[in-house]
Chains A and B, each alone.
Chain A
Amino acid sequence: MVERESLAARAGWAVRSWWLIAGMWARSMLTYRTSFLLGLAANVLITFLDFAVLILMFRHTRQLAGWTLAETGFLYGTSSVALGGANLLVGSVSGLGERVRSGTLDTMLIRPAPALAQLAAERFSLRRLGRLVQAFVVLGWSLTALDLRWTWDRVLMVPGLLLCGVVIFCAVLVGCSCVQFWWGDAAELQNSVTYGGATLLQYPPTVFAKEIVAGTVFGVPLAFVNWLPALYVLDRPDPLGLPVAFEFAAPVVAVLCVLAAGLAWRTGLRAYRSTGS
């Protein structure tokens, strides 16, 4: 094992490890079929109540900061698909602090599979599909309700936006979890970035102060998940007046985010010292 394998081979092995472990957890859960289906149905209903709040708000006004319900529904759907997808794929990473504390991270480090893939697939739950299903339903509804001329570039933008959004949120989830290498109790801190961020993106950017919107462009780059590409799809002006190139920059940002998250993970893992007990 002295010679180093190619990057592609290692990435392939990581994905395969994730797939095997996640598949194992999924099979074990599907053994209790009724319980699983009930849990999934409950999950879909639960996340719908979230959207019910938006509907209730729009019962009192036709527009929120200049955006209609269909447009806000598009933001809600895309934001939830991005977070839901990322949560399905790597959501378990947030249990890192608990593993560092209890010492079970060591078990993962000595197994012949990438630790990050193991951590991301651990306790993989198909119930998380519930949020994704609900998000796609809302997104589908908003696409039919939107009063838009659907040109080819706009149509293609939607799947591209979702894909980049999932990748960006995956990177944010992994990157934020790395804080737990040093500060194990602070798991909730990342909720303010992930769940807080997703909630932020569910509303029109014009609702918030310009400084906050600028923070999601130049700070934690969540604006590239849906706000900026949505401006192009929905044909709306940019509240910050940024160049049009920003509306197409999501793939570049997604790659940068993944690199940053990878760096954070490596730094954290190097700094990790086992409890030794």
Chain B
Amino acid sequence: MAGVYVAVACGAFRRYSTYRAATVAGVVTNSVFGGILASTMLALWHARPGLGGYDARQAVTYVWISQALLMTVAVWGGGFQDDVQARFRSGDIAIDLYRPVDFQGWWLATDLGRAGFQLLTRGAVPLVLGSLMFELALPLRPLVWAEFLLAVLLAVVVSFGVRFLVSVAGFWLHDSEGVRAAMTVLSMFFSGMLLPLALFPGALGELARVLPFSAMVQLPADVLLQRRTGHSLVTLYAFQLAWAVALLGLGRVAQALAVRKMVVQGG
């Protein structure tokens, strides 16, 4: 049975690998934004060295890691979401529901395949370009990179959980565009994509640290910057895993409620 999901994931990987021009264009865009945001961080850390416990080099590295994660973790939304939304509109979603595979598992598999491809292209290439343009604080030990990859995997699952809930909202709203736009903003802001969460003041910072979005960018970046090691690293994984399980579970409940309500038009 697991073979099906592996095949689905591989298929998604290969599907994304055919969008060559889009991938090149995306890598350029990530690198341009990385360069702009890294410069603003340098200016900020020039005024306040050591802000938030980062030195200037780590702050610039943080920007490039977040650019590498933007598409991989789908902080913007997208990935399987585009496909599911189109299928809601066309009614094809009914076919997906009576396939002899798990609905949620199917889409999770496609999203992991997509994330794998985007990590290798839109993740890795801007990071390499960034390290050519700026002095980055990247670790040399392979183990840290392995720990980072595990955190990225969990980040993708958490992000999937959030996006799945937004998509299922389409059962009730017919069009989840509005919810999706709101979620995009929350996730860009609270994931640490725009600014490290350490720079958020007081209660806003506390809130950002407990929301699932922090598992998407801030925590994987912390792992690669070696700000979380040993016991602290284990609690980081536990936090990510807890949100992943909670969101996937919530998604299943929402899906079950939605299916009971659904009416398929014949024709």
Interface: A63 (CB within 8 A) = yes
By DSSP majority rule, is chain A's interface helix, strand, loop, or mixed?
A: helix
Evaluate contact between B189 and A185: CB separation under 8 angstroms. no
Distance of A204 Cα from B51 Cα, bound (Å): 20
Interface: B256 (CB within 8 A) = no
Evaluate contact between B36 and A186: CB separation under 8 angstroms. no
A119 → chain B, closest Cβ, in Å? 20
A37 → chain B, closest Cβ, in Å? 12
Binary interface encoding of chain B residues 157-185 relative to chain A, with 1 for a CB under 8 A from any of its CBs, else 0: 00000000000000000000010011011
Point out the residues of chain B lying under 8 angstroms from A192, CB to CB.
Answer: 25, 28-29, 32-33
Interface: A49 (CB within 8 A) = yes
Interface: B20 (CB within 8 A) = yes
Chain A residue at minimum C-beta to C-beta distance from B37: A199
**A59-B201, A199-B33 known; A207+B40 contact, CB < 8 A:** yes
Evaluate contact between A56 and B199: CB separation under 8 angstroms. yes
Evaluate contact between A207 and B185: CB separation under 8 angstroms. no
Query: How big is the A interface, by class?
Result: 35 or more
Evaluate contact between A189 and B189: CB separation under 8 angstroms. no
Evaluate contact between A185 and B19: CB separation under 8 angstroms. yes
A73 → chain B, closest Cβ, in Å? 15
Interface: A151 (CB within 8 A) = no
Evaluate contact between A42 and B178: CB separation under 8 angstroms. yes
Evaluate contact between A186 and B22: CB separation under 8 angstroms. yes
Distance of A49 Cα from B37 Cα, bound (Å): 16
Distance of A59 Cα from B51 Cα, bound (Å): 11
B63 → chain A, closest Cβ, in Å? 13
Interface: A19 (CB within 8 A) = no
Chain A residue at minimum C-beta to C-beta distance from B133: A209
A190 → chain B, closest Cβ, in Å? 8
Interface: A6 (CB within 8 A) = no
Interface: A141 (CB within 8 A) = no
Evaluate contact between A46 and B28: CB separation under 8 angstroms. no
Interface: B48 (CB within 8 A) = yes
Binary interface encoding of chain B residues 11-23 relative to chain A, with 1 for a CB under 8 A from any of its CBs, else 0: 0000000011110
Evaluate contact between B33 and A207: CB separation under 8 angstroms. no
Point out the residues of chain A lying under 8 angstroms from B28, CB to CB.
Answer: 189, 192
A61: which of B48, B181, B195, B201 is its contact (CB, 8 Å)? B48
Q: How many residues of B contact A (CB 8 A)?
A: 35
**A53-B194, A196-B33, A208-B39 known; A183+B178 contact, CB < 8 A:** no
Evaluate contact between A56 and B201: CB separation under 8 angstroms. yes
Point out the residues of chain A lying under 8 angstroms from B35, CB to CB.
Answer: 212
**A56-B195, A56-B200, A188-B22 known; A46+B32 contact, CB < 8 A:** no
**A46-B182, A46-B185, A57-B199 known; A64+B40 contact, CB < 8 A:** yes
Evaluate contact between A60 and B44: CB separation under 8 angstroms. yes
**A192-B29, A208-B39 known; A185+B21 contact, CB < 8 A:** yes
B44 → chain A, closest Cβ, in Å? 6
A57 → chain B, closest Cβ, in Å? 6
Interface: A38 (CB within 8 A) = yes
A191 → chain B, closest Cβ, in Å? 5
Interface: B234 (CB within 8 A) = no
Distance of A42 Cα from B180 Cα, bound (Å): 11
Interface: A65 (CB within 8 A) = yes
B199: which of A60, A185, A212 is its contact (CB, 8 Å)? A60
Chain B residue at minimum C-beta to C-beta distance from A65: B43
List 16 contacting pairs A-B, 8 Å CB cutoff, sorted by A.
Answer: A46-B185, A52-B189, A60-B47, A61-B44, A65-B46, A183-B21, A186-B22, A187-B22, A188-B29, A192-B33, A196-B32, A196-B33, A199-B37, A203-B40, A207-B40, A207-B43
Footprint of A on B, CB under 8 Å? 19-22, 24-26, 28-29, 32-33, 35-37, 39-40, 42-44, 46-48, 51, 178, 181-182, 184-185, 188-189, 194-195, 199-201
Footprint of B on A, CB under 8 Å? 35, 38-39, 42-43, 45-46, 49, 52-53, 56-57, 59-61, 63-65, 183-189, 191-192, 196, 199-200, 203-204, 206-209, 212
| Additional A-B contact list (16), CB under 8 Å, known A39-B181, A56-B199 | A39-B178, A42-B181, A42-B182, A49-B185, A49-B189, A56-B195, A56-B201, A57-B199, A60-B44, A60-B51, A186-B21, A186-B22, A186-B25, A188-B25, A196-B36, A204-B43
